[in-house]
Amino acid sequence: MKKTVAALMCALALAGCSKSDVVETTAGGDVRIGIAKIVQHEALDAVENGIQDALVLRGYNVEADLQNANGDVNTAAQIANKFKNDKVDVAVGIATQMAQALSNTIKDIPVVFSAVTDPVGARLVTSLDRGEGNVTGLSDAIPTVEHIGMFQQIAGIKTLGYIYTSSEENSVSALALVEEGCKKHGITLVAQTINSSADLRQAAQSIVGRVDGVYLTTDNMVFSALPALIEVFSGAKKPIFSGDVTGAMNGGCLVASGFNYYKAGLATGDIIADILEGKSPADIPVKFLTDPGESDLLFDLDAAANCGITIPEDLVNQANYIFQDGELIQMQ
């Protein structure tokens, strides 16, 4: 059975539904939550929606102060001070730089991070087994080495491009895994850094002629300007492997494999609810999404045709999303 996304957005991720469409609020108490993301794009928006819906599902009347730092660390610091002065019940940082700003500024209010690839490397916690003082949260680490192996199997790549933000610690940490994957599979790596989303098109243009394809980890600056990269690589008929399915749902990425970020938001919301119900952040281990049902796999058959690539049927049959003829389809 298959359905177009337009017909089933609520069933897919609930993100297209209003809070009242999800569940009636029950008497769980009024809470003031500060939720800030480092930049706006589909995956981080899905986390934001999931957090709010999870709290409603847990019976809370939520007053959410939603903030966007627009990729600027100084703005992130200002938001952190705002949440501190407003004395929100819980401050939530979506993505590494936003979470760092909150944890550096706020010491007397619980801080929960989400969509942080390497919480230890980002110095948010010293161990994944427990929180750190008033800080805990959820990691969106992805199986990069396995992804590169799949990319080679499908596209036969011998050289791989990797574009990442030099100031995003999660992307710098991911570089080591990309290097490991390339070494394991005998692939030459061509890495290119950017400082902001405005640099992405030029970075893509600088490497597209030197690589067989490009791999994207969960870099927020990259995904906030993803259409620019897709335009460059599609024009060159070279494939893209995305570690974020949410950002690939509009087409252009040959393969996308990664977490369902709405479900990541739900899991983050449950952490927040546990804290509101008395758990100490220090006693809550860093959460990882390990259930296969919390991950998605997308193949873009239009992109495959553009690149002259045939995706093996056994892999196509594993996908829960197919993009074909300009339309996203959910497979069931």
User: Tens digit of pLDDT for each residue in 160-207?
Assistant: 999 999 988 778 888 999 999 999 999 999 999 999 999 999 999 999
Give yes or no: residues 172 and 314 share one domain. yes
Question: CATH code at 235?
Answer: 3.40.50.2300
User: Tens digit of pLDDT for each residue in 287-332?
Assistant: 998 887 888 999 999 999 999 999 999 999 999 999 999 999 998 6
Give yes or no: residues 243 and 265 share one domain. no
**Given pLDDT bands bounded at 50, 70 and 90, which one contains residue 28?**
low
Q: Residue 332: what pLDDT?
A: 64
User: Tens digit of pLDDT for each residue in 223-272?
Assistant: 999 999 999 999 999 999 999 898 899 999 999 999 889 999 999 999 99
pLDDT average, residue stretch 269-294 = 93
pLDDT of 7 above 80: no
Residue whose structure tokens are 């993301």: 37
User: Tens digit of pLDDT for each residue in 86-101?
Assistant: 999 999 999 999 999 9
- Scanning the chain, the segments in alpha helix (DSSP H) are 9-13, 19-22, 42-57, 73-86, 96-105, 144-155, 169-184, 200-207, 220-224, 226-235, 261-276, 301-307, 313-316
Give yes or no: residues 85 and 46 share one domain. yes
Give yes or no: residues 87 and 178 share one domain. no
Give yes or no: residues 118 and 242 share one domain. no
Contact 174, 164 (CB under 8 A): yes
DSSP code, position 132 = B
Give yes or no: residues 223 and 235 share one domain. yes
Question: CA nearest 289: which of 26, 46, 23?
Answer: 46
Residue 62 tokens read as 């939520």
CA–CA separation, 109 and 120 (whole Å): 20
State the residue range of the domain holding 113.
Answer: 2-140+260-291
pLDDT average, residue stretch 66-78 = 96
Q: Residue 3: what pLDDT?
A: 31
Q: Residue 1: what pLDDT?
A: 32
**Given pLDDT bands bounded at 50, 70 and 90, which one contains residue 12?**
very low
CA–CA separation, 299 and 253 (whole Å): 8
If one counts the domains in the chain, the total is: 2
User: Tens digit of pLDDT for each residue in 84-141?
Assistant: 999 999 999 999 999 999 999 999 999 999 999 899 999 999 999 999 999 999 998 8
CA end-to-end distance (rounded Å), the chain: 5
User: Which is more confidently placed, 109 or 25?
Assistant: 109
Give yes or no: residues 112 and 149 share one domain. no
Average pLDDT, the chain: 90
Q: Residue 215: what pLDDT?
A: 97
Contact 4, 331 (CB under 8 A): no
**Given pLDDT bands bounded at 50, 70 and 90, which one contains residue 43?**
confident
pTM of the model: 0.76
